[in-house]
Amino acid sequence: MSWTFWTRRRDAMPSPSQPDWERALINRMALDYLRDQRNRRRWGIFFKLLILLYLIAILVAAYARDLIDGGDSGKAHTALIEVKGVIASETDASADRVIAALRKAFETEQVKGVILRINSPGGSPVQAGYINDEIKRLKAKYKQDKGKEMPVYAVAVDLCASGGYYIAVGADAIYVDKASLIGSIGVRIDGFGFEEAMKDLGIERRLLTAGDNKGILDPFSPLPESQRIFIQGVLDTLHRQFIGEVKMGRGDRLKGGDELFSGLFWSGQEAVELGLADGLGSSSSVARDIIGAETLVDYTRKRDLYESLAKRLGVGVASGLLETIGMGGGVVR
């Protein structure tokens, strides 16, 4: 409070010579307190709204920039689609997002070729399989409708392994950096066994199931040999499917033996020698030298504004902001 304000308030105080001056003084002090509280609340709300508007402006600007970057170009160009991170249903590299971007690229007249820029350790074989199948379907449909091929190339960045490579073999050719890591053609399932630790700690596991194998892979129960054989059979089936897709996509270009399908991975330079990749190159060099349309336009499916809010500010902060402006509660997903 300023000195002038306090002086004014002191002058307005009742004099002891007035009747009931104590009650008047208390009333005056209570009114002054309530007035101060209202002023503080007003300024608090003002600054909170100002900060909220500032954050929203930043998000809108970032989202608008993403839309511009991902928009169509009026001239011939190469469509770039990122496959980045773990391939799973709720990630940026999900089949839904990648397939939506592929369809948009194939539908755009100015697109002369598509580059899948892959930087992924793998993930769901189902999601990777969806993308691989859609690449082949779109290419066949485009050739039937247009009477010509739409070239699709995979470009590996740091890592193109497992499910990432599963997607890559659906392309016409694979280009890598000499230091990229390529391969890991295999299937795995992880788990722990705490049975002996439970015994040492004197803990009894009480697992009730309806179905002899319903508790399969329970980490606190032993793994019977029959269940181990069954799980291995499932993994072998998935592995054969993976190998079949690699052989279908790469064909006679493969120069290695069974070691290619053992789960090992190689440098980009070694991958070219083994026929797992076709040559060294980047997205820019492939667009310029192979496709012949040097301009790259990003067709990667962007998150909408609601998703961007959750991703950029974090789940907790975004949830709080959305509650503040009356857009629901709970966790933002």
Report the pLDDT value the prediction gives residue 58, as an integer from 0 to 100.
67
Q: Kindly give the parts of the chain with pLDDT less than 70.
A: 1-22, 25, 58-73, 303-333
What is the rounded distance in angstroms from the CA atom of residue 256 to the CA atom of residue 162? Answer: 17
Longest alpha-carbon distance in the chain: 109
What is the rounded distance in angstroms from the CA atom of residue 160 to the CA atom of residue 40? Answer: 57
What is the rounded distance in angstroms from the CA atom of residue 25 to the CA atom of residue 39? Answer: 21
What is the rounded distance in angstroms from the CA atom of residue 244 to the CA atom of residue 254? Answer: 13
Q: Helix (H, G, I), strand (E, B), or coil: what is residue 68?
A: helix
Number of other CB atoms surrounding residue 332 within 10 Å: 22
What is the rounded distance in angstroms from the CA atom of residue 135 to the CA atom of residue 291? Answer: 17
What is the rounded distance in angstroms from the CA atom of residue 255 to the CA atom of residue 139? Answer: 26
Report the pLDDT value the prediction gives residue 330, as an integer from 0 to 100.
37
Report the pLDDT value the prediction gives residue 95, as an integer from 0 to 100.
96
Report the pLDDT value the prediction gives residue 304, as an integer from 0 to 100.
59
Residue 285 in tokens: 């060099």
User: What residues act catalytically?
Assistant: 162, 214
pTM for the model: 0.73
